[in-house]
């Protein structure tokens, strides 16, 4: 996928990167420019982008393999989360305090937290990954990534509507870049002569 083949995808990726960067990094109350959370967010974006690329290739080879591909992805996520829980003391140690993993299922006062963990694991992880995997068999990963880059914009909109969070300049500017990215991804830079030859 070179710049000459799909310039609109590269333009959309650059616009998304700028837009999400403005949304996430500008306009905060803290004086820090970059923190560990920002580094982890960048690594997460790289991981998701790589995952979409690999998943799209696998789904193009055999579209009937959505469930096994999803199972591998969710199992990997569960394994990495288990490592985190062990290292953080949430499994058996007392470092987890009242929210140690085993207490979520035995302490009746933590049923809401246990429900949130189950919701996150089953609905927003497993079901979401299955829908994304199935969709990547039909939509190119570059297009899907641009669509999914709108997530911070939707989060800002819903935070404003439901939580009465103030919309700052960074929300407007970052949102404009993300919308431009979605529009740029639909552009066709093929010269008119080539389009006439194709049709």
Tens of pLDDT, residues 61-75: 888 889 999 999 899
- Compute how many other C-beta atoms are within 10 angstroms of the C-beta atom of residue 149: 24
pTM of the predicted model, to two decimals? 0.64
Q: Whole-angstrom Cα distance, residue 194 to residue 188? A: 11
Q: Whole-angstrom Cα distance, residue 143 to residue 134? A: 14
- Looking at residue 199, what is its pLDDT? 53
* Segment 116-153, tens digit of pLDDT: 888 988 998 899 889 988 888 888 777 777 777 788 78
* Segment 21-48, tens digit of pLDDT: 887 777 665 555 667 777 777 777 778 7
* Segment 76-97, tens digit of pLDDT: 988 988 888 777 666 555 554 5
């Amino acid at each position: 996928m070179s710049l000459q083949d799909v310039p609109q995808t590269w333009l959309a990726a650059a616009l998304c990167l700028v837009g999400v960067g403005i949304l996430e990094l500008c306009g905060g109350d803290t004086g820090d420019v970059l923190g560990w959370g920002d580094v982890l967010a960048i690594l997460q974006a790289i991981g998701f982008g790589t995952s979409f690329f690999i998943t799209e290739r696998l789904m193009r080879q055999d579209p009937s393999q959505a469930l096994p591909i999803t199972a591998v992805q969710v199992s990997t996520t569960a394994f990495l989360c288990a490592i985190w829980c062990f290292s953080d003391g949430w499994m058996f140690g007392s470092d987890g305090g009242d929210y140690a993993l085993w207490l979520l299922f035995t302490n009746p006062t933590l049923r809401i937290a246990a429900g949130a963990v189950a919701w996150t694991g089953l609905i927003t992880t497993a079901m979401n990954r299955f829908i994304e995997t199935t969709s990547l068999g039909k939509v190119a990963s570059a297009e899907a990534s641009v669509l999914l880059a709108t997530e911070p914009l939707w989060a800002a909109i819903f935070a404003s509507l439901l939580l009465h969070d103030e919309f700052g300049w960074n929300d407007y500017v970052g949102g404009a870049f993300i919308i431009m990215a979605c529009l740029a991804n639909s552009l066709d830079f093929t010269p008119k002569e080539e389009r006439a030859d194709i049709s």
